[in-house]
Amino acid sequence: MNLRSLETVMQLPKVAESVKKSTAALLLGSFLMAGAAHAELDYPEKEELKFGFIKLTDMAPLAIAYEKGYFEDEGLYVTLEAQANWKVLLDRVIDGQLDGAHMLAGQPLGATIGYGTKAHIITAFSMDLNGNGITVSNDVWDEMKPNIAKGADGKPVHPISASALKPVVDRYRSEGKPFNMGMVFPVSTHNYELRYWLAAGGIHPGYYAPAKGDTSGQIDADAMLSVTPPPQMPATMEAGTIHGYCVGEPWNQQAVFKGIGVPVITDYEIWKNNPEKVFGVSKEWADEYPITHIRVVKAMIRAAKWLDENNNANRPEAVEILSQSQYVGADYDVIANSMTGTFEYEKGDKREVPDFNVFFRHNATYPYYSDAIWYLTQMRRWGQIAEPKSDEWFMKTAKDVYRPDIYAQAAESLIEDGLMQASDFPDFTTEDGFKSPQSDFIDGITYDGKRPNDYLKSFQIGLKGDDQI
């Protein structure tokens, strides 16, 4: 269906007063105040778009929105382009070479607060939940195994605590050798999940001290974490440069297939249903093209729903699409090992993990303020935010970056189109952007997004209160 055909059926609530300078800005800012009358969603201000991504399975909403024609349904003609690494991807969004991109959830936050490249980036769409794992080399796994309990079937009991790794790390240190691990970017989910898991097991992952010019993240570290691009993780570990890594799929399963390592834990086991990637655009772009932005989010919501509907029935087709070289480019079987509801740990130890990749269930696409604040607490915990911040600062920063108001406009338009139902989404009349306090962490600590400083105080390892490096 083309855009002009859609025009006859697309209607949005009309606002009662003009509070913005332009019709587009009025629609963007006032949608949630709407009454019973309806107004049309206008044509996109920009039709030809280029979006960036990294070759990971959680870029799937972009690929599906493209392949299923959801972008074209919104009058958008999209080019998808793989990027070399997360820094290049962010820089190209900032300088306008890309209209938007598949981003690490911490990237819009880090850029907006000025950690690394300073730029105001926003997100109105969360791309997925879960999807990462921590893998160690075969040699490290052999040393860990005696420290891990076994079940009646003789297989390791999961989740595996980093306390099983601690004797290995301690041995390396006693021998004067660094224990090196890879993660994908300083403000990546992978960095924070790996640090969380290590610290929960008594292994210090190190601090950042940007004010002192130290952005290594290795101050006081027991394990040395450094950046490695996702597709290069298996080869870097095989070469002995790193002894383990935290990465998204399919690069943990690739280690299993190549016989070079063992995934010891998934992020689902570290923090159940944790937010992972987002779709990010510059604030300047969003302000210039508000209708285009809404339509992009609409297409991606539809793609996410398709990926999860009927108990993941569409996943085999999704894997076929993702295995193409222009997307992830890994073998079908490698991608399917996690995308179709299973996850393989030690070779032959394949277990049911139906929520390893979640794209729509559990309100996965909604940009919760509490998700943003969790990332900010981890930036503070490890020194990327060098000085104490008030709870109010955490809240303001989350609201500067995460935009559930834009998401709600896209969702309401899909409902008006008859493509989705209100029950598919949170109740926008009561939703405040905060999940209920969550306790599904490997260390059992409860996270309440409305009390970030109290949350930081609950950790034995990490900065809190007035602490500074």
Residue 257 confidence (pLDDT)? 95
Amino acid at 27: L
The pLDDT of residue 365:
98
Predicted confidence at residue 12, as pLDDT, reads 36
What end-to-end distance do the CA atoms of the chain give, in Å? 58
The parts of the chain modelled with pLDDT lower than 70 are: 1-39
Closest by alpha carbon to 393, among 128, 112, 106? Answer: 112
- Where residue 67 falls (left for φ over 0; alpha for ψ -120 to 50; beta otherwise) is alpha
pLDDT at 224: 98
The DSSP bridge partners found for residue 343 are 351
Q: How many whole angstroms separate alpha carbon 155 and alpha carbon 415?
A: 47
Domains 3-130+276-367+403-424 and 132-274 in one fold? yes
pLDDT at 116: 86
Query: Distance (Å, rounded) from C-alpha 441 to C-alpha 436?
Result: 14
Whether the Cβ atoms of residue 382 and residue 205 lie closer than 8 Å to each other: yes
Contact by Cβ (8 Å): 329, 323: yes
Name, in order, each residue with C-beta under 8 angstroms of 255's C-beta and a sequence gap of 6 or more.
135, 233, 234, 237, 261, 262, 263
Return contacts of 424-428, CB within 8 angstroms, 24+ apart. 424/305, 425/363, 425/366, 426/363, 426/366, 428/32
- The single-letter code of the amino acid at 344 is E
Distance CA 113, CA 107 (A): 10
Are 123 and 403 spatial neighbours (Cβ–Cβ below 8 Å)? Answer: yes
Q: Which of 183, 330, 191 is nearest to 253 (CA)?
A: 330
User: Rounded distance, CA 178 to CA 168, Å?
Assistant: 11
What confidence score (pLDDT) does residue 260 get? Answer: 98
425 Cβ partners below 8 Å, 6+ apart?
363, 366, 408, 411, 415
Task: Name which of 38, 67, 63, 42 is nearest 53 in CA terms.
Answer: 63
Give the count of beta carbons closer than 10 Å to the beta carbon of residue 436.
8
Q: What is the pLDDT of residue 9?
A: 34
| Domain 3-130+276-367+403-424 bears CATH identifier 3.40.190.10 | yes
- Where along the chain do its domains lie? 3-130+276-367+403-424, 132-274
Fold classified for 132-274: D-Maltodextrin-Binding Protein; domain 2 (3.40.190)
